[in-house]
Structure 1
């Protein structure tokens, strides 16, 4: 990498860590585990000035020839543009859920398993800063007309944070009696913050112009929102027809919804749930032989969700699996298996074998996110090692989304090429998953361009897509908070399929090359792979 580009990349990472220290903890960037994000107008102005300065410095450099430098330059330019436009159009400090989410994960990020030792002192300092951080949020948001669902999410998260600090944290090995005073004050501050919020009737849509900007500058998509909407709509109705045809061939007496509901009754015994996760993860790694090189050198440990997290995980962005820190990945990742509640039958229906295979073993584990993250840590591009990191509300860089989620969804279908891995009924579920992703792409666009309201989006998810009712509110509220995040699943998957059909590469070679670029827009990767395969004069 040229010294000038390397210096700018390092400068950006340092500035990102300073402004987003909770991200920094998840990313493994050192020196910020004791901090919360800076807040207030002055902090925003300093950040914007620094971003513009880096943007001018990057624009003054010649376009690099080396692939890794070219990749870093593209990712850096994307991040600078996206960060600046976000600060102009949808400042994170204007979202009530930003304060609740950052405060909660400032604590949780220090409690999750890590190869790096965690400091009680860092935790204490973050706890002590939470009251002032949330008070700044209260002051900033006072009198504003806020989307009602954003407020509801923030209230739920604030109450979950309070429960974590009073009930969960004392059960964690990092707990010390020295933390009690700070934890109690932070818990009270979380409840006070929740009480200060008042739902309004503001439209959560970002607007078509901002959505188009994110699609272009973050995802490198070759489509406008209108073009992507047309593609997703056509795919939705095609997949709906395919789903009905598949279901008819399997059992003409039952609809696809009835057949998928029947899959929920095929589940392990309660004592075998964790072992079923492990078994199918291993089978998926074996089934991938000849299709992609799986990350067998990097471990994945399936463990029950710890006691300290059980009362709060449902109301927070608490993932089954998180990408390990790029700088300190250790020897493996932990994958949480959520324990049963009082309704064992409903729990086991949710832990059906098909869902464990497709979502837990393949999408998140084995050759899905697990392998993708392992390969990203070895990418030649510095920024591509960090972009897919799971943080407090989503991945670190939006630009990583079409590859990160596109690959995980693509990986589900990839194992169709391993004979016998899926049953015919599970193939039906795969079609329904793709239908859902096309539908969510369509809904993401229609919500943020103002074609649909949030309630229309929810009705679509409920009546036509077949989402579980318990998921709809959280899913759609998250969609409204973060435009251009739900469209990246289906569009990313399609891009990988199209590129594979285009390039004359052996199957395993193709997939390994795609993953070798790390967390980068798949459309950028596609252009680079075409360039690499062109005959040199």
Structure 2
């Protein structure tokens, strides 16, 4: 084993020690019964451990022969730098929804279907640890001036976790009656934690220096926040003009917002919602051939969200599609189709066919996240196989986001090159999605550099971008908690497009090469693809 492999092993061991819930989602063995350290010395000890390993990683100077090794070293150093700075500047122990999210997903990570059956002993162990974990959270947060929206999010998650503990868990096929006392005690601890939270008036902005650090160190972006803001503003205005022009061509008597609202009438029958997901996923896989190598070799099953999760899912980071554990992926994964609530008409408006096609079948399924995650598991870089894993509050390595989300947004537009896949009206929706991503990039930067308040951000989304009103609060609050997590969509897509235009490779060659690197900053991938092409041309 090389010394680089030893460093990677030690990073994964440290990651699992500090973030055992992440380890469950990744498929790293040995941590399924644990919760993260949360005591009074947790942050100090974390910084010490991160600094010690970073010093070794920074001093590493052995020659590296392959792009996979080079990427491993880059990701290793970047993750350690970002994790240490986060622990210093914005420790997750000061985020009230970190405690509720980790507690909830410590259980959910063990209950989701997968290659491994649910381990009853691990579930019981985590149930028993939740009270002490939340008590530590109450002590950590006591006396802090917390943004009011962060507290509200944590309270909503706490109510959802209570529903999971008392109502959902007994409906799971793996339910053990011996879990009940621990689940009831955990539910009481969740209520006590939520009751103890005190909203304050702190500004959720991270500041321009920290945002610039994340853009540089996590995302490897060659620009400052100010430069990115200028580009996003120009992109937003250009896209708004294109959207208005396209809408006028389709129907000069109706605005783009009105025409997009018309798409809600294109609905499947209630009993055909799940099969509509599956059918368009399959069509997108087939139409993607010739543009890339779609992941038809790895299954994706569209299933109705199970009863045990239904009452809790809405207020948690419960994704329709979650990247399978990279180290234990099995032969396929599950995509959840949420069932209708009491308002069937509203449900079907949200499950309109254009939205199913673009968001569920293409962005998340088929050639989007589904193919990207499948190819990532075959990457030469060990860390790039794992970095895009969906965890309790986001992907495992923030820096993978420009490729993970950049690719999924790029994939939506890629099927414009498959003639007839999209209707002209659906192309209008595509353009609105791109406008939204540019807007989110702009808002991410302006919020965290202090240019906008959360309320100004919400007004922008409501009045100028066309976000669904019910989504705005959750979207903006999450962005306030996790800076540089929303700018990666538009900047990632933009980088992929520019690279394809620059390299002029055949479509399948370009896309398959891009995805072969795994989940990593797309700017790093672009630099290596240019280098490899230059070397090949010199031969």
| Inter-partner Cα distance in structure 2 for 1:171 and 1:382 | 37
Does the CA contact (< 8 Å) of 2:388 and 2:404 recur in 1? yes
Q: 1:447-502, CA deviations, whole angstroms, 9 ceiling, x for partnerless residues?
A: 00000000000000000000000000000000000000000000000000000000
Matches within 5 A, 1:51-200: 51-62=50-61, 64-200=64-200
| Inter-partner Cα distance in structure 1 for 2:199 and 2:252 | 48
Match of 1:48 in 2: 47
CA RMSD of aligned residues (A): 0.8
| Inter-partner Cα distance in structure 2 for 1:510 and 1:450 | 39
Shift of 1:106: 0.6
| Inter-partner Cα distance in structure 2 for 1:296 and 1:252 | 41
Q: 1:176-223, CA deviations, whole angstroms, 9 ceiling, x for partnerless residues?
A: 110010000001111111100011100000000000000000000011
Shift of 1:40: 2.2
Q: 1:70-97, CA deviations, whole angstroms, 9 ceiling, x for partnerless residues?
A: 1000000100100110011000000001
Match of 1:476 in 2: 476
| Inter-partner Cα distance in structure 2 for 1:81 and 1:114 | 32
SS across alignment from 1:310? helix
| Inter-partner Cα distance in structure 1 for 2:404 and 2:483 | 17
SS across alignment from 1:264? helix
The gaps in structure 1 that reach 5 residues or longer are none
Following superposition, which runs of at least 4 residues in structure 1 exceed 4 angstroms of deviation? none
Matches within 5 A, 1:130-279: 130-279=130-279
Does the CA contact (< 8 Å) of 2:47 and 2:88 recur in 1? no
Matching of residue 19 in structure 1 with residue 18 in structure 2: yes
| Inter-partner Cα distance in structure 2 for 1:286 and 1:492 | 25
Q: 1:154-190, CA deviations, whole angstroms, 9 ceiling, x for partnerless residues?
A: 0000111011000000000111110010000001111
Shift of 1:55: 1.3
Shift of 1:47: 2.0
Matching of residue 36 in structure 1 with residue 39 in structure 2: no
SS across alignment from 1:245? helix
Does the CA contact (< 8 Å) of 2:167 and 2:308 recur in 1? yes
Q: 1:44-82, CA deviations, whole angstroms, 9 ceiling, x for partnerless residues?
A: 222222211211111222152421111000000100100
| Inter-partner Cα distance in structure 2 for 1:279 and 1:300 | 12
SS across alignment from 1:56? helix
Matches within 5 A, 1:488-503: 488-503=488-503
Shift of 1:398: 0.3
Which stretch of the first structure deviates more once superposed, 185-194 or 48-57?
A: 48-57
The gaps in structure 2 that reach 5 residues or longer are none
Matching of residue 293 in structure 1 with residue 293 in structure 2: yes
| Inter-partner Cα distance in structure 2 for 1:263 and 1:523 | 36
Does the CA contact (< 8 Å) of 2:23 and 2:29 recur in 1? yes
| Inter-partner Cα distance in structure 2 for 1:339 and 1:105 | 21
Q: 1:265-303, CA deviations, whole angstroms, 9 ceiling, x for partnerless residues?
A: 101010110010000000000110100100000000000
| Inter-partner Cα distance in structure 2 for 1:497 and 1:221 | 15
SS across alignment from 1:336? strand
| Inter-partner Cα distance in structure 2 for 1:428 and 1:207 | 35
Shift of 1:34: 0.3
Match of 1:407 in 2: 407
Match of 1:309 in 2: 309
Q: 1:422-447, CA deviations, whole angstroms, 9 ceiling, x for partnerless residues?
A: 00000000000000000000000000
| Inter-partner Cα distance in structure 1 for 2:125 and 2:405 | 35
Match of 2:321 in 1: 321
| Inter-partner Cα distance in structure 2 for 1:340 and 1:513 | 40
Q: 1:229-250, CA deviations, whole angstroms, 9 ceiling, x for partnerless residues?
A: 0000001011111111000000
| Inter-partner Cα distance in structure 1 for 2:369 and 2:165 | 30
SS across alignment from 2:179? helix
| Inter-partner Cα distance in structure 2 for 1:14 and 1:200 | 36
| Inter-partner Cα distance in structure 2 for 1:142 and 1:131 | 16
| Inter-partner Cα distance in structure 1 for 2:404 and 2:200 | 34
Shift of 1:144: 1.2
| Inter-partner Cα distance in structure 2 for 1:192 and 1:58 | 42
Match of 1:437 in 2: 437
Match of 2:418 in 1: 418
| Inter-partner Cα distance in structure 1 for 2:146 and 2:58 | 37
Aligned length: 536
SS across alignment from 1:311? helix
Does the CA contact (< 8 Å) of 2:363 and 2:411 recur in 1? yes
Match of 1:283 in 2: 283
Q: Using structure 2 for the length normalisation, give the TM-score.
A: 0.99
Does the CA contact (< 8 Å) of 2:27 and 2:328 recur in 1? yes
| Inter-partner Cα distance in structure 2 for 1:42 and 1:320 | 36
Match of 1:346 in 2: 346
| Inter-partner Cα distance in structure 1 for 2:40 and 2:528 | 40
Does the CA contact (< 8 Å) of 2:40 and 2:140 recur in 1? no
| Inter-partner Cα distance in structure 1 for 2:504 and 2:477 | 42
Does the CA contact (< 8 Å) of 2:40 and 2:136 recur in 1? no
